[in-house]
Homo-oligomer: A and B are copies of this chain.
Amino acid sequence: MRIGILGYGNLGRGVECAVAQNDDMELVGVFTRRAPGSVKTVSGVPVFHADELANMQDQVDVLILCGGSATDLPEQTPEYAKLFNVVDSFDTHAKIPEHFAKVDASAQAAGKTAVISVGWDPGMFSLNRLYANAILRDGNDYTFWGKGVSQGHSDAVRRISGVKNAKQYTIPVDAALASVRACENPQLSTRQKHTRECFVVPEEGADLERIEAQIKNMPNYFADYDTTVHFISEEELLRDHAGIPHGGFVLRTGRTGKDGEHNHVIEYSLKLDSNPEFTACVLAAYARAAYRMNQRGMSGCKTVFDVAPADLSPLSGEEMRAQLL
């Protein structure tokens, strides 16, 4: 199948690498709203202006949308679902119903297949919540994130005056994880689930105490957490904190038996060196599914819940049953 990438940041570059790992996919090109000549791709694949897409409907089977959830995807996914099968990683949980409705209207009308909110959360974590809830009907759900870099929280720290650069890590609390795994079914406050750790490069002469207090008391972002602030040099930040790792844990504990006498723990976890590259791999797998579902006449907006696992795999049914079942 022939793949196009719209948007060429960390995620777009990740998709470029992911497509190269899949023999049944061919990358047609990267599409950008910037001047194509200013964009250099990792693999040397051609770069086109996004406006070219309207003329390339017969050359692209699935368009993978690699823009951001704040402003790009709410416009792009409904728009491009009129022309292509599309996959996006829309992750503003509260706005998914609205996004779904808009994309569904476009895709249905055009007979295209659009899979939204693909990645790891939403995405693989969502799937694990669904499977675990369908199996253990009487139980409790827990999702922990990290250890990993939160872009939003890093940005929030950078906006403080006197801060030159910063990186923020979200870290799950070990004791909380242990309690969940022991089937103690704890009710956990925000503070009990995660801690936050900030590595901050201050501007010369900045008031470090004021910066630290401003971080720790920032509403929504930090006030409800135990936060540690480390002041370091720009050199240290680039040397020790250049990566974009992330991950997390989805757990469900539940009871079965006549009187709920047996406990069970289902746990799914990810430990990712590169958050965008992993998300990109999930997008590539769902691009395969979007293409196949469209070929079977299943059009409209879908989520990971609607996609049969077999549609993600390059293997045939016989191979899957022999090798993976």
| Chain A residues near B (Cβ < 8 Å) | 14, 17-18, 21-22, 42, 93, 96-97, 100, 117, 122, 124, 126-131, 133-138, 181, 256-258, 261-274, 277-278, 280-282, 285, 288, 303-310, 312-314, 317-318, 320-322, 324-325
A122 neighbours in B (Cβ, 8 Å): 325
In the complex formed, the residue of B with least CB distance to A137 is B21
- B135 and A285 contact, CB distance less than 8 A: yes
Q: Which of B14, B282, B322 contacts A97 (CB 8 A)?
A: B322
- A269 and B267 contact, CB distance less than 8 A: yes
Give Cα A43 to B79, complex, Å: 55
Give Cα A262 to B272, complex, Å: 8
- A306 and B303 contact, CB distance less than 8 A: no
- B256 and A324 contact, CB distance less than 8 A: no
- B263 and A273 contact, CB distance less than 8 A: yes
In the complex formed, the residue of B with least CB distance to A117 is B325
- B262 and A321 contact, CB distance less than 8 A: no
- A321 and B278 contact, CB distance less than 8 A: no
Q: Which of B126, B134, B135 contacts A278 (CB 8 A)?
A: B135
Give Cα A285 to B137, complex, Å: 10
State the Cβ distance, A33 to closest chain B Cβ, in Å. Answer: 24
- A267 and B264 contact, CB distance less than 8 A: no
Give Cα A304 to B312, complex, Å: 13
State the Cβ distance, A100 to closest chain B Cβ, in Å. Answer: 6
In the complex formed, the residue of B with least CB distance to A122 is B325
Give Cα A306 to B312, complex, Å: 11
